[in-house]
Chains A and B, each alone.
Chain A
Amino acid sequence: MSYYRGICNFCGTGCGHLLQVEGNRVRGVYPLPGHPLSRGRLCVRGWHIHELLQTEERITRPLIREGNSFRPVSYDEAIDFTASRLKTFSGSELAFLGSPRASNEENYLFGKFARAVMKSNNLSLTSDAGLEESARILLEGCGFPAMTGSLSALRQADFILVVGGDLTKQNPIIASEIHFARRSGAFVATISPRKTQMARLSQQHLRPNPGTIWLLLEALARALQTEGLVLIDNLEERVENARQYLEYLDSLDLKQASALTGVEEQEIIRLARKFYESKSAYAFYPVGIQSLDRRSISALLNLFLLAGKLDRPAGGICPVTGISNLLGSLDMGVSPAFLPGYFPADDEASWKRLEELWQVRLDRKPGKSAAACLQEDQSLKALLVVDHDEEIIRHVNRIKELEFVVYFGAYQNAFASLATVIFPRLNYIEGDGTYTNSERRVQLSQKKVEPPAGIKPMWEILSRLASALGQPWPYKSAEEIMAEISRVVPQYSGLSHEKLRASLGLRWPVDDRHPGGTEFPLAEETGRRFKFVFEGSADRRQNLHSGEAGRFPFKLVVGRSNYFWHQNSVMKRTFIPKREYNALLLLYPGGFVEVSEEDARALGLREKQPVRIVSEAAELKLATRISPDILPGMLYIPYFIEEMIPGFLHRQVSELEKNEEFFLPVRLEKVE
């Protein structure tokens, strides 16, 4: 029984750990003290990853559907069958759903299979599209698509703003770094309607009404202006469209913004001053599980541009990825919007370049996300999915109608039963692969145990499928795939497994000019261009979802962040994390709705009292959970496990779960 260095594969923090391996089994886990980011800490999920890696509930053989059951088959048969069926579809009849938990090598090849072999650009991830949106905004506003700051330098920060979600739950070790930064002197402020633990660890907590975070962020920018904290003169040289943006800001009335957001004007000004005075300012927001909305991300970026905080080697804008390799998956171009390396899909030059590199003709037809195809595209006939580890499957009925569904999965779950063909997948310690965390740190996870029953790596299956479909692929190992990635993805051009083996991860861009990686990508002028990102000067009130204050006075928010324990089909295979989320279910077996102390008092509600929630379209009954953490006028239902999702929400959920800025106007009635 010995310890081997590795990385945690749950969230996008990418903490270093030591896995204790005995023979061919993982028996324990321990934090890796020397890791540059996690520095010897793990969260409750990371401390129990060995429980998941022990499970025997694996998919171990290729399976082909026969009626309502599956027949185990050989790899040859499954590959021949799949290839012969895939041949019958055109690119636009196919959609590809990659996994943000899969490695860069797997995602790269999956994308290449979609684009180069099947000529399909319908390619996306199982997580929400927030990271892609964030990358688009950041590219437009500063010319760099990902985190511009450095997590390993966070303890030197003097100002940290955390917007939305609850980092202490989603990325606990990043939240811990923020906490340590505060203890060594940083000013930490949180903007979130809920009183989260992150808020409790902050010196200032601003609680905007649901749906108004973006407005509060614009108000902060406006306060910089009205308080005379902006160097207007030089702004036009620094940022492209400064004049238009300042005009846009002029139209914002602080008093009105304060009334709409519910945040005192003085609080806004206080925070704006702190921000202005800072020398090293960071902003954090969540992406991937329940992302911050587009308008708020833009407003945050504009705020940093206005104060001139982005072009220094300290601080930055930091999207925090909720799932281990979410960023890497986007780096690899598993997205309708970007080809590998963030080359925009709507630019002919990107396609020419890729055709050249891949030596194959590519189809330019604009792709859609798999979710969009399922939702609106009647021509969709087949779907290829990697490790759908959510318990809740959207569009189940549409998926059942499809002619052909291929599933690559490590664990048995509800999604597998929808497939036509199932290929087993290695779990992440059964093969080599690289994973890219929130701060662009590419880390190599090395093989530690042999896969059960001779499971073949996904790259091998994809290669054989490609060969069967007329494009012989030569890959012999994940290492060779990384060698190709380094030619295709410029940000990875200086990376190889060999180099990564001797390091604890390198932050991209890793290239000729930055062989050891890059800590603050905007500190250099190359490639940097600043531009405010905003949409015209619409009446800000119009953009606020006002609801019908009379009949439906409450704002119902469906939250994934607060009680989120990671994709449940994964967590259900652990003991202690499972027990911990079940603790809530035991107390509220039929689910619950959180009501503020004030509203509970006004309505005469007791703890666990049944209440009826009525919306325009439907109603449901739940138990009351009185919470000191939410604002009066707000209701909160956690969206994290099937049992807790009331039926009627299923229908509205695609809107609601986009981010916590969306809400549903409802009324609350006591049930005696």
Chain B
Amino acid sequence: MYWLPRDQVRLLVNRLAESYAVYGPRRDEVSGEVVFDRLEYLERLDLQAAIPYNPPKHALLPQYEEILKYLYQKQSRKVTIEKISKVEPKALVGLRACDLNGILCLDRFFLGQEFVDEVYLEHRQKLFIISNTCVRPFPQCFCVCTDSGPAAGEGFDLDLTLAGQGYLVQVGSMKGQKLVEELGLREAGPEAQNLREKIVAESVSSFDNFALENKAWISRATNRLTTGFIKPEVWEYIGNQCFECGACSFVCPTCSCFNVEDVNRVDGPTDRVRTWDSCSFEGYTKMAGDHNPRKPVEDRRNKRFFCKLSYSQSKKYLRPGCVGCGRCARVCPGDIGLPNVVTYIRREITGE
């Protein structure tokens, strides 16, 4: 482990900016809220800021991305296809552990199956990741229940943990090691590992009671979800409150639904575009013959939470599909969100 004095974070970031577009948490001046964004001004990076309202997903899976371009020539009946490659190297600085785990889930979806998604792969290969331990959790967090925080275990190039006047720096890759050496960081000493463990343990113990209580319930909910032992009335209750906005999928660091569209450009060729999508939309599943037009809403809700918590999905991701970031609860017009769903399932079990 290495030691990075607080006032040298600037050096680290400036160094990264030489070869990467730097992304990180910053505060919006007027609303005061935290956004994970490409930093136009590096000094706006705020490593102390709360968990950003948006996950870093957009850096790997943009909301709207041209993936290829093709041109069909009528006369010659020829099609020319061209890969659009605009992927720039990016450094994600100050990722929270939940969000890093979110990326690892996306990796398994896009890279870990039969077909490797080449566009995603290119984004992924050009990433430099610096995670940042949560020395205290934020009110919406429950990563302790989903085994995804408050500190990162794997997947980073460098990992920071604030300890007094500086950061303990853990190295996770060759790239990371190289950077540390270039910056000439000094070793943090023999006690560093223990110190980090102590800091993390303190953080874990300061989670909201709600998160701690829910810890056991999340696994019971997982169980129920997997075995289908949840009464239809629970889903109906949840379905009635769903506004079908798609937000829970868009803001989830692990949601990977996408849509593909062909857009004809005025200058001739056609762009093939990939955009975010959500299983909460009727058109996504294209249910045919909806006799009861309401029922599918519940089914779609059911599907998303199944995807986040069931065993069968966990097997795919090698971890639960939910990383406990609490974002889906904050953006939901219906006040649903994963924590509430767990509460409803819990109420059903206990009959409260």
Contact = CB atoms under 8 A, between A and B. Distances in A.
Indicate whether A and B interact.
yes
Nearest to A575: B261
Given A28-B63, A41-B333, A504-B31, A1 B245 contact: no
Contact of B33 (A33, A47, A54): A33
Interface string A560-583: 000000000000000110011011
B334 A179 contact: yes
A213 to B, nearest CB: 23
Contacts of A586: 286
Contact of A56 (B28, B241, B265, B291): B265
Contacts of B245: 41-44, 46-47, 172
Given A35-B31, A179-B335, A587 B290 contact: yes
Contact of A47 (B250, B261, B335): B250
Contacts of B33: 32-34, 40
Interface string A429-443: 000000000000000
Contact of A201 (B62, B240, B277, B282): B240
Contact of A44 (B38, B246, B294): B246
Nearest to A452: B266
A2 interface: yes
Contacts of A43: 243, 245, 333
B24 to A, nearest CB: 12
A197 B58 CA distance: 32
Contacts of B62: 1, 27-28
Interface in A11-69: 16, 18, 20, 27-35, 40-44, 46-47, 50-51, 54, 56
A618 interface: no
Contacts of A119: none
A183 B40 CA distance: 40
Interface string B319-345: 000000000001111110000000000
Contacts of B277: 576
A318 B107 CA distance: 48
Contact of B243 (A40, A168, A587, A628): A168
A56 B267 CA distance: 10
B190 interface: no
A627 interface: yes
Interface string A578-606: 01101100110000000000000000000
A307 B334 CA distance: 31
Contacts of A168: 243
B184 interface: no
B265 A31 contact: no
B31 A32 contact: yes
B244 interface: yes
Interface residues of B, number: 49
B54 interface: yes
A629 B297 CA distance: 15
The SS class assigned to the B binding surface is loop
B283 interface: yes
Contacts of A2: 37-40
Interface string B282-300: 1100101111111000000
B137 to A, nearest CB: 18
Contact of B282 (A27, A51, A580, A607): A580
A53 to B, nearest CB: 10
B247 interface: yes
Contacts of A583: 282-283, 286
Contact of A40 (B39, B291, B330): B330
B122 to A, nearest CB: 16
Contacts of B286: 583, 586
B275 interface: yes
Contacts of B58: 1, 20, 28
A629 B240 CA distance: 13
A408 to B, nearest CB: 21
Given A50-B63, A200-B240, A176 B283 contact: no
Contact of B35 (A18, A179, A587): A18
Interface string B14-41: 0000000000000010111101011110
A3 interface: yes
A197 B292 contact: no
B171 to A, nearest CB: 29
Contact of A33 (B31, B275, B292): B31
B210 interface: no
A30 B32 contact: no
Contact of B335 (A16, A40, A180, A607): A180
Contacts of A8: none
A579 B243 CA distance: 17
B30 A30 contact: no
A1 B123 CA distance: 14
Nearest to B242: A197
Given A197-B240, A575-B275, A29 B31 contact: no
A201 B53 contact: no
A399 interface: no
Nearest to B243: A172
B64 A54 contact: yes
A626 interface: yes
Given A30-B54, A56-B265, A168-B243, A580 B283 contact: yes
B120 interface: no
B110 interface: no
A502 interface: yes
A173 interface: yes
Contacts of B305: none
A266 to B, nearest CB: 25
Contact of A175 (B53, B64, B243, B282): B243
A504 B63 contact: no
A503 interface: yes
B281 interface: yes
A173 B32 CA distance: 21
Interface string B250-269: 10000000010101011000
B244 to A, nearest CB: 6
Contact of B259 (A47, A576, A582): A576
Contacts of B244: 44
A32 B275 CA distance: 20
Contacts of A5: 28, 30-31
Given A30-B54, A575-B261, A176 B333 contact: yes
B247 A42 contact: yes
A28 B37 CA distance: 12
Contact of B333 (A29, A35, A179): A179
Nearest to A32: B31
B296 to A, nearest CB: 10
A593 to B, nearest CB: 14
B64 A628 contact: no
A251 B38 CA distance: 68
B330 A627 contact: no
B30 A504 contact: yes
Given A35-B31, A176-B334, A576-B259, A30 B53 contact: yes
B330 A33 contact: yes
Contact of A580 (B28, B241, B243, B281): B281
Contacts of B240: 197, 200-201
A502 B282 CA distance: 40
A607 B289 contact: yes
Given A33-B31, A586-B286, A176 B243 contact: yes
Contacts of A626: 291
B183 to A, nearest CB: 26
Contact of A582 (B31, B37, B246, B283): B283
B63 A41 contact: no
A576 B283 contact: yes
B30 A503 contact: yes
A655 B332 CA distance: 38
Given A56-B266, A576-B281, A580-B282, A20 B247 contact: no
8 contacts: A5-B31, A34-B31, A34-B32, A41-B247, A176-B243, A176-B334, A502-B30, A628-B292
The 6 A-B residue pairs with the shortest CB-CB distance, nearest first, are A34-B31, A28-B63, A176-B333, A579-B283, A583-B283, A33-B33
